[in-house]
Structure 1
Amino acid sequence: MFEKSADASKALQNLIENENLTNEQLAIDFNLSPQMVSHLKNGRRPMQRDIAQTSIQAHENSEYMADLMRAFTSGLTTPVLRGKNIERHRMSLAANAVKEMLEAIESVKKMVLVKPPGTLDKDELQEVENIYDEMLEATIFSENFLMQLENDYGISRKKRVRINEPRWKARGWLQ
């Protein structure tokens, strides 16, 4: 599931742009030569897993971490929404997240999920896929909203998870 290496060029380019970094600064942070940073940035060399771990420790940038995770999991994790129809302001992302959550809730309310999976016909299976897609879109917008809050307010996801884990365990959500 986790690749040994991945093309991290877009992740590095976005990190450099977002944090106004130079190849030399990244070389120091990653313990690499400036030439190797250039190769990684321009996609001429794949980033190795150990370099990715070092880079995440050096730069706790939520978008960069999401980009790297997506690259190293062959696209299984949440993408950072940067398309031409996306405004990356926290209020815009919040509004989109709420909209997608409401659509997901409406799709779940449909009674198709009460039936056993083996009894569904073709149309009902398509409806289950639609529910899945709505939940996926809600999750993607929610994750992007959280990323923006982390960036705007300096919130550490690691710290928030560490603080909340005891409560989640007490509720029986985690073991």
Structure 2
Amino acid sequence: MANIDKEVWKGDQIIGTLGSAEYHRKKGRSAMLDRYSVVKLMNVFFARALARRMPQSTPTVIVNTVNPGMCKTELNRDLPFPFGAIMSRAQGLIAFTAEEGSRQLVFAAVGEQKNPETLQGKFIMGGAPLEESDFVVSEEGSKVEGRLWKEVVQILSGVDDKVQGIVEEYANR
């Protein structure tokens, strides 16, 4: 459901473009409205890229992206009126309990113990892996996934110079 401009995927930097003031001035309010679904899509791409690069080891390291859904928590407790009241009412009507939401995380980690490779690099929601979009599994999506992986590693390497060595040793297949 992500609405992403081709200029983002075709440009020099995916993350840099999405985070730039210029992009937001040009796109206006729609840039922020699309942000949630775009970030979810980027999580899917990154999880798939990381899962593909994990060494075959015992025990298997499981890499998935999880959407626990809206959960009743105290995260909104400091929202000003009327936003806090609206969120509280919405959570009361449609949200899962924190325990119910946490089941998604547990399933993503151990849901397929007998065949862990079937639950690797997936997007988990509703207690099951969701089918990837046509874009995610397309040739263009695969290129975006690879570029996003490189960008994230580059950004993290700028924060800690150990990142590149760790990636080269453990996650460079």
Would you call these one fold, judging by a TM-score over 0.5?
A: no
* Bigger relative CO (Cα 8 Å, ≥ 6 apart): 2
Q: Which has the higher helix share?
A: 1
Q: Which has the higher strand share?
A: 2
Highest CA radius of gyration, 1 or 2?
A: 1
